[in-house]
Each structure stands twice: as C-alpha cells, then as structure tokens.
Amino acid sequence: MNSTICVHAGGHPDKETGAIMPPIYQTSTYVQESPGVHRGYEYTRSHNPTRTRLEEALSELEGGKYALSTASGLSAEMLIMHSLEKGSKVLCGDDVYGGTYRLFNKVFSSLHDFSFVDTTNLNLVEENLKALRPAMLWLETPSNPLLKVTSLKEVIALAHKYQCRVVVDNTFLSPILQNPLKFGADIVLHSLTKYINGHSDVVGGAMMTNCKETYDKLFFLQNAIGPSSSPFDSWLVLRGIKTLSLRMKAHCENGLKVASFLEKHSNVEKVLYPFLPSHPQHSIAAEQMKGAGGMVTFFMKGGLPEARRFLEKCKIFSLAESLGGVESMVDHPAIMTHASIPQSEREKIGLTDNLVRLSVGIEDIDDILNDLDNALKK
Ligand SMILES: *Cc1c(COP(=O)(O)O)cnc(C)c1O
C-alpha cells in the first residue's frame, strides 16, 4: 500500500518559512501587482494554494494527471452532469449511493435521460449500450449497499466500444485499494467525506482524470458554478490523507474478520463482503481490488423489528448515515441512506428491511465483535 505517497503527496516545505505542513490560505482574494498580473491566484473560488496542494495529493494517489476537489461528493457529481450536452443519455448502475439516485432522478432528469442497469451483468450492459447509445456509463464497484463487484476491465472496454465514457465512483475503496483510471475509466469520483478524509469532520468531493479536455471543462464549470472546497476543509483532508494507507489496512483486516464472524452467526441469514469466498464475484474482486475495505453488508434473520432492535443495541457501532470514518458505524439503508429510493424499486434490487450495512472502523477487533455479538442476541 502506498504509505509513502500518503505521507508526502502534496507536501513540500513552505517556500517562505520552511513550515513542513501546508499553511491554510484563508483568503478570498489575492493582491495583483498590475491589472491582470498575478501569481496564478486571483480569487479563491477558482484557485487557492491549500486546495492546490490537496488536488496534487489526490491526483498522485489515484494515479491521474488531474484532480479537482469540491465542496461535497454530490457537487462533484453535479459538475459532471453539467459537462454533458443537454438531452444526453446516461446509463447508471442500479445499486448506487441513494443521493446519486436522487440527484439523477429528481434534479437532472429534466436535463438528461437516465436508465439503470445491473452493471455486473455484461450482456445486459451491452444490450443497453447498443439500444440507447448513452454518452456516459456511471457505476460503483463495490456497489452501495449490496457490494456487487463489476469487472472494471470488461465493462470499460465494452462501454468504449460504443463511444460511451465511464465514470467510476471509487468512494467505497479509496485510491489505496482500487484505481479505476488504470483500467481505462475516464473519470474517477470520490466523496472525500468518507475514507479519504476518514475522520468524520469534513464533507467534500473530488474528481480525477487523465484527459486534459475533461479537466478543463470540469474546471470551467467548478469556477462558473462555484462548489470549490474551502481552504480549511482542503487542509483537513490533506491531514487525513497522511494516515489513509494505515487506516485502510486496519479497515481491511477488521472488515474481513467481521464478515467471517457474521457468516458463522446463527442469527444472520447472509453476509456480503467481496473478499469472502462466498461472494458471487469473489474472483473479480481479488483481481482488481487490493483489499475489500471496511464495508460489510448482512441480512439478519427476521424483519424490521429484529433489525431495529439490533441497531438500537449496538454500542461501539454508532447508528449514523455516512461511512469510512475511523469509528464503526451502522446504517439501515431502507430507512436511512436509501430512503429516497421508492420501496418498490428497493425490493426489486434486493434492498430489504432486514439488510444492515456496517462501516467497520479501526477499533480493537475484540471490542467490535463483542458489540455485534451482544446486539445480535435474541
Ligand atoms: C457519500 C457518498 C457520495 C456523496 O458524497 P457527499 O460527500 O456526501 O456529497 C457519493 N457516492 C458514494 C458512494 C458515497 O458514499
């Protein structure tokens, strides 16, 4: 894992003072020597030196030439949607972050045409590519919350065959565990709020790409619309990145132990974790991912009352929307993160009331397992 990149990316001593940590340039504007004569910084909506450092770190981590950071993951998604011509067709994975689903179906549906497909089914993906000729394919792997794994190599090659550009939301793994640009993805998207910042104290987003034209277009939109990340948030994320590789290692170790423990538990019906041999796409996961991270999804025996009791009894796991922080969190997608998806749609894709999503933190594994065991007791 890239610990050296995490510690050093975007970091060079301050030229004036030698300060080892980047200063927080808490400024809205910059004094010009003469009209139009400046040092690359005019106004913080367009450029800020602390944000520049963060963007350098992000592009290095994801192995991309360019990165842009935004005020939230969803505002990065908004910029990508505005970069498409009006009336574009977008093919999207059918198991994506609830907010992504809402943004596409409730906000951008007046501008573009969205269709949803199970991206693990390549035949179905090709049928849709052929019939719709979409401008963009949008996917998450592993998906949220069903942790379905799509072969990046195959789905990207397929989309490119039909001149369709591919966006991969890589939030669930972070750049430490998977790098979609290496498989040919056109844009990688992250919610920095999750693993990359990792401390549950910032909301932020980022996009990485190797294509200059794409970067220029997204940068134009970021400046024209305005959702750039603040200097202080940029600084906090830079600080979080220093331990990203260490944290991901701990999330992977604890995640696998929790998944194996739950799989053997008598009150658990089924566990989904890409690095368990029982996962339907285990071999694809092993091929394209360096670890499966801390996200574990499981189905309890019983229904909503049993799930509710479990969620109320957890002590170390905080009942909260969000994921990817150092602390363990538990979520009930049907009531919480994915409530914006209509019940009929939820049931169609298997998002049932006994489904629980864990974001396994970096606490001591014995404490984590004890907490789950206590909460699962009848
Ligand atoms: C949280 C999340 C987002 C949205 O990011 P925000 O920072 O909350 O706006 C997008 N995709 C995934 C997979 C997420 O988990």
Q: Is 171 in the pocket of ligand 1 (CB under 6 A)?
A: yes
Q: Are 54 and 10 in contact (CB under 8 A)?
A: yes
* CATH number (domain holding residue 169): 3.40.640.10
- Helix H or strand E encompassing 100: helix 98-102
Residue type, 185: A
Q: Are 195 and 174 in contact (CB under 8 A)?
A: yes
Write out pLDDT tens, residues 113-157: 999 999 999 999 999 999 999 999 999 999 988 999 999 999 999
Set 51, 165, 194, 247: catalytic member: 194
Q: Rounded to two decimals, what is the model's pTM?
A: 0.96
pLDDT reported for residue 1 = 54
In degrees and rounded to multiples of 5, residue 140 shows phi and psi of -120, 135
Extract the tokens encoding 20: 């080892």
Measure 364 CA to ligand 1 centroid, in angstroms: 27
Write out pLDDT tens, residues 165-196: 999 999 999 999 999 999 999 999 999 999 99
Which domain-ending residue is among 241, 272, 294?
Answer: 241
Rounded Cα–Cα distance for residues 75 and 228 (Å): 9
pLDDT reported for residue 345 = 81
Question: Does 31 share its domain with 173?
Answer: yes
Q: Given CA atoms 175, 180, 181, 186 in this order, what sign does their dihedral have?
A: negative
Rounded Cα–Cα distance for residues 178 and 98 (Å): 22
Whether 97 is catalytic is yes
Q: Is the pLDDT of residue 66 over 60?
A: yes
Q: Is 205 in the pocket of ligand 1 (CB under 6 A)?
A: yes
pLDDT reported for residue 92 = 98
In degrees and rounded to multiples of 5, residue 344 shows phi and psi of -60, -40
Whether 194 is catalytic is yes
Q: Is 281 in the pocket of ligand 1 (CB under 6 A)?
A: no
User: Considering the chain, what is the average pLDDT of its residues?
Assistant: 95
Q: Is the pLDDT of residue 225 over 70?
A: yes
Question: Does 225 share its domain with 254?
Answer: no
| Residue nearest (by alpha carbon) to ligand 1 atom 1 | 191
Whether 169 is catalytic is yes
Q: Are 72 and 193 in contact (CB under 8 A)?
A: yes
Measure 196 CA to ligand 1 centroid, in angstroms: 12
pLDDT reported for residue 198 = 97
pLDDT reported for residue 314 = 96
| Number of domains within the chain | 2
Write out pLDDT tens, residues 282-332: 999 999 999 999 999 999 999 999 999 999 999 999 999 889 999 999 999
Q: Domain range holding 249?
A: 245-377
Concatenated DSSP letters of 335-350 = TTTTTTS-HHHHHHTT
Question: Does 233 share its domain with 254?
Answer: no
